Structure 1
């Protein structure tokens, strides 16, 4: 899947010995429309259940396609999901900060997904080269991060088991300004029930946007949902994860360059209510 770019298209690189040199991809070579119709049946690959998902191609340092391999670690699992990850800014910021946490970006646009996959592949190769000289210099080596093309509004439960995730990120999602398009917003009452299914009690759902109307929409639906409780922003002051969510995405950087505002709302997944016996 990784694209070998011509030298005149290439980004920064590190000289490699005995292997094909990958270059950090440049977004202008991965052109894609800004929006995709999430209700169309795209040609997507997804497992029938989380148990059928093969993670070995995404995290080869943690999983093996052969269960008998000594590298096979059944206890490893993806814990953080960046839904609509865009060009992967958050993933690339968090991966070296939390090298033992497996995190996945989910993106429906083909070219954007390819860009993130190439960005991760190139970064892994660069880190491996640098680590050969100084093994402790760059923890993780981006082996703990990956991306998958998926329609998160339809297939989240196909990838993650109940209570598998501890963090979910919804950063600068498509605002769908027109009223008739708002049914396509990534935060709705129905979808929140699916997110609550894969998010463990105590897990955190992060939302960041530069559109006040969308912020109010997402906060309204989250406040109304019985399985989420609001976390006052001051409780997360200084939280490195929230700082990265606000500042590391391409959209977040663009808002800062333009002097725009950002609205934040974080919610904690609460325990399931007890089942009343008859």
Structure 2
């Protein structure tokens, strides 16, 4: 005897173009072990990534023989890998984007900037992708939300596979898994080693935004970034005038939950410094 329809079957049955996905059909456990084998697909290098499928409105054809400084989209790369180039690079990354609250809040505020969510959970990634498609259809007349997308990825392992040196201007780390036990601290999204990878993919002057409701994790992230020679802490006065900080405080699903529970949100932002000249 057949059991009740599974979540995927239900959401496929009601899926229509332009219709917003229902979150109840995409629920998944809150956290995933980043050290597990998640059967992920990832490019061998940023040049092998086909961004046109994520940002079709920004797909561009570069005439053969025309110089192009974009390492993602060059004529030679297009010929060799049969990838359609895009006119812009991704500049903003929300690592562990969850259901995309921050992504969809930032997208209309930064319509000419490509914004990418990276999420390790399969169902949650699919929800964000479907919501992006629906919003593009609903806002076809204005062209909004063409600049936002999401990929399933484990950034603790494969961040440099997606982004070249100095590519990103903003990285968001919003309410990451605190991993309370000391033996689990190696799984935290902020660490000495990972901070070096963030420094690699960030352009000088770019910012890493962090927020959490766990004070111990807040202190951990602040101390680890402060100890890294490629970052300096952004002052409180500058934070107050940063629209991204206000958006980060209010638009994520976890942020709204903390607000409902009258919790405290701890924010710290670090700026990528210029690399010192070679001796």
Do the two structures share a fold, i.e. TM-score over 0.5? yes
Structure 2 vs 1, CA of residues 46 and 67 (structure 1 numbering), >3 Å: closer, same or farther? Answer: farther
Q: Where do residues 243-254 of structure 1 align in structure 2 (5 Å cutoff)?
A: 243-254=246-257
Match of residue 78, structure 1, among 75, 90, 107: 90
Equivalent position of 1:113 in the other structure: 125
2:113 to 86, 98, 101: 101
The answer on 1:172 being equivalent to 2:168 is: no
Looking at structure 1, the residues matched to 33 and 216 of structure 2 have their Cα atoms a distance apart, in angstroms, of 21
Partner of 2:162: 159
How many residue pairs get aligned? The number is 253
Structure-1 separation of matches of 2:102 and 2:27 = 20
CA contact (8 A) 1:62 1:76 kept: yes
In structure 1, what is the Cα distance between the partners aligned to 2:241 and 2:200?
28
Q: Is the 8 A contact 1:4 1:23 kept in 2?
A: no
State the distance in 2 between where 1:233 and 1:6 align: 49
Match of 1:13 in 2: none
- Pick one of 218, 221, 234 that aligns with 1:218: 221
Q: Secondary structure at the match of 1:51?
A: helix
Deviation, structure 1 residue 82: 0.3
Written as runs of structure 1 = structure 2, the 5 A alignment for 1:35-114 is: 35-63=31-59, 74-114=86-126
**Alpha-carbon distance in structure 1 between the residues aligned to 2:154 and 2:24:** 24
- Where does the alignment leave 5 or more consecutive residues of structure 2 unmatched? 1-7, 65-83
1:28 to 2, 12, 24: 24
**Secondary structure of 1:95 counterpart:** helix
- Displacement of 1:74: 4.9
- TM-score, L = length of structure 2: 0.86
2:203 match: 200
Higher relative helix content: 2
State how far apart, in whole Å, the 1-side matches of 2:148 and 2:263 are: 29
Corresponding position of 2:139: 127
Secondary structure, in 3 states, of the residue corresponding to 1:96?
A: helix
Kindly indicate whether residue 245 of structure 2 is the aligned counterpart of residue 260 of structure 1: no
Asked if the contact 1:4–1:22 (Cα under 8 Å) also holds between the matched residues in 2, the reply is: no
**1:36-86 C-alpha deviation (Å, 9 max, x unpaired):** 11011211111111111100110000025x7669xx665410000000000
Using structure 1 for the length normalisation, give the TM-score: 0.86
Stretches of structure 1 that go unaligned for 5 or more consecutive residues are: 11-19, 132-137
CA contact (8 A) 2:116 2:148 kept: yes
Q: Structure 1 CA distance, aligned partners of 2:121 and 2:96? A: 9
Q: Which residue is 1:17 aligned to?
A: none
Measured after TM superposition, the shift of residue 4 of structure 1 is: 5.8
Could you tell me how far apart the structure 1 residues matched to 2:103 and 2:18 are?
19
Distance across 2 between alignment mates of 1:68 and 1:61: 18
User: Displacement of 1:208 after TM fit?
Assistant: 0.5
Spell out structure 1 runs of 4+ moving beyond 4 A.
3-7, 66-69, 72-75
3-state SS in 1 of match to 2:134: helix
Instruction: Look up the match of 2:146.
Output: 143
Q: Give the aligned CA root-mean-square deviation in angstroms.
A: 2.1
